[in-house]
Amino acid sequence: MESSLTPLGRTTLILPADKLTGTQHRSRQDRGQQADYTYVGRLPRPDGAGTFLYLAGIHAPGTAGAAAWLSDNIDKIHRDARGKRWSALIQVDHDEQRNITGTSTLAPLVRHDGSSR
């Protein structure tokens, strides 16, 4: 996954698979909507000694929504990832007070052994 700032200072997420299609995911919150995007993944540690869990929203509600999505989907993730590294891009919906009202997967969970679920 890549993350970059647009000329307007807005963050854009680009998944590796999206490089082929040119798809970019910009936060809907930046357009006045009550939604954000988040990236969740089990990634390799920089020192190569294992993995760590990474949760990052474009904005705070995205990060909170990542935790909610992970909690709601942990059994499926465990079943699909089978102990391998994985990642997912999630849409997070929230209300005006930024309470999470729902999450949905934007793309299938990707196992970093070359398969997706």
Reported pTM:
0.73
Give the pLDDT confidence of 38-71 residue by residue, as tens digits: 889 999 999 999 999 999 888 888 899 999 999 9
∠ CA 45-47-51, rounded to 5°: 20
Residue 90 lies in a domain: yes
Write phi, then psi, for 35 (nearest 5 degrees): -155, 155
Q: Give the burial class of 115: count Cβ atoms within 10 A of its Cβ; 0-12 exposed, 13-18 middle, 19 or more buried.
A: middle
The torsion angle over the Cα atoms of residues 91, 93, 57 and 77, rounded to 10 degrees, is: -50
Whether residue 117 lies inside any domain: the answer is no
Categorize the per-residue pLDDT at 112 as very low, low, confident or very high, splitting at 50, 70 and 90.
confident
Kindly state the average pLDDT of the residues 90-112.
88
User: Looking at the 3D structure of the chain, how many domains does it have?
Assistant: 1
Task: Express each pLDDT in 9-43 by its tens digit.
Answer: 455 555 444 555 666 666 656 667 788 888 899 99
- Contact between 94 and 100 (Cβ < 8 Å): yes
Report the chain's mean pLDDT, rounded to a whole number: 79
The residue assigned the tokens 């890549």 is 2
Tell me, yes or no, whether 27 lies in a domain.
yes
Q: Which domain holds residue 101?
A: 2-111
Does 116 reside within a domain?
Answer: no
Which residue is listed with tokens 């793309």? 107
Any domain includes 72: yes
41 burial type by CB count under 10 A (0-12 exposed, 13-18 middle, 19+ buried): buried
Please indicate, yes or no, if residue 95 is contained in any of the structural domains.
yes
Query: Residue with structure tokens 């929203």?
Result: 57
